Structure 1
Amino acid sequence: MERTYLMVKPDGVQRGLVGQIISRFEQRGYKIVGLKMMQISREVAEKHYGEHAGKPFFQGLVDFITSGPVVAMVVEGKDVVATTREMMGATNPLKAAPGTIRATFGVDVGRNVIHGSDSLESARREIALFFRPEELVDYGRAIDAWIYE
């Protein structure tokens, strides 16, 4: 089963949106196997956004993601990377499809409330950056029989 990394950013935490955001993924049938509130260090933020190092907006990304607590989570399910990306919507909330998380809760490109891995490779890297293996819990749910064959 696929796993992906999702993070409610500081703006989502400060605005009290964590529960509403998490519930969307649970309602979709995805299983949360890791969840924690944390304050990201600059070092971890720079690794997380490493692909953008040297770009004019890099420092702003690091400053914002370290400006307050985030809620980090690992979510598991069929086609979870692609589906959670669709559920989040476009990075720019003004261009996100109606009903998506970013269209509903996002303010602008810099304040779009959520991050999600964009590929299985990114998911593996981000999960390893934010979670130790023992922080992830494998468990079965009665509902899985109704969701997966």
Structure 2
Amino acid sequence: MERTLVLVKPDGVQRGLVGAIVARLEHRGLKLIGLKMMRISQDIAARHYAEHQGKPFYDGLIGFITSGPVVAMIWEGREAVSVVRSLMGATDPLKAAPGTIRGDLALDLGMNLIHGSDSPARAETEIALFFSRGELHEYERTMDRWVRE
């Protein structure tokens, strides 16, 4: 089963949208196997956004993600990465389709509520950056016996 990292960014936490975002992911059939609220350190932020280093928006990105608490989650399911990406919508909320998290809830490009891993390989790296093995929880949901993926 594929896993992916999801971060509810500081704007999502401040606006009280964590529950709405979790509900959308659960309603799509994904299984939550790790969750914590945390403040991202400068070091973790720099490692997380390393591919953007040197770009004009990098400092703002680091400043924003470290400006307040985030909710970090690991979701599991069939094609979890692509499922989360489609639920998130386009990075720019003005271009995100209605019905997506960003299309319905985000206010601007700089504060777009949510991060999701962009590939299964990147998901593995990001999960290891934010969670230890002991923080992930294996369990079977009642519905898993009825709905096989």
Partner Cα separation in structure 1 for residue 24 and residue 126 of structure 2: 21
- Whether the aligned pair in 2 keeps the contact of 1:89 and 1:97 (CA below 8 Å) is yes
Number of the residue aligned with 2:82: 82
Number of the residue aligned with 2:122: 122
For 1:148, give the aligned amino acid: R
4+ residue runs over 4 A deviation: none
Secondary structure at the residue paired with 1:67? coil
Number of the residue aligned with 2:95: 95
**Mapping for residues 54-69 of structure 1, pairs under 5 Å:** 54-69=54-69
Number of the residue aligned with 1:146: 146
Q: After superposition, what is the alpha-carbon deviation per residue over 1:104-138, rounded to whole angstroms, capped at 9, x for unaligned?
A: 11111111100000000110000000000100011
- Report how many aligned residue pairs link the two structures: 149
Partner Cα separation in structure 2 for residue 98 and residue 104 of structure 1: 6
- Whether the aligned pair in 2 keeps the contact of 1:29 and 1:147 (CA below 8 Å) is no
Partner Cα separation in structure 2 for residue 62 and residue 111 of structure 1: 12
Secondary structure at the residue paired with 2:35? strand
* Cα shift at 1:144: 1.1
- Structure 1: unaligned runs, 5 residues or longer: none
- Whether the aligned pair in 2 keeps the contact of 1:33 and 1:137 (CA below 8 Å) is yes
- Whether the aligned pair in 2 keeps the contact of 1:93 and 1:106 (CA below 8 Å) is yes
Secondary structure at the residue paired with 2:112? coil
**TM-score of the pair, normalised by structure 1:** 0.98
Q: After superposition, what is the alpha-carbon deviation per residue over 1:68-87, rounded to whole angstroms, capped at 9, x for unaligned?
A: 00000000000110011000
Secondary structure at the residue paired with 2:37? strand
Partner Cα separation in structure 2 for residue 55 and residue 108 of structure 1: 19
* Cα shift at 1:146: 2.7
Number of the residue aligned with 1:51: 51
RMSD of equivalent CA atoms: 0.7
Number of the residue aligned with 2:17: 17
Asked if residue 133 in structure 1 is aligned to residue 133 in structure 2, the reply is yes
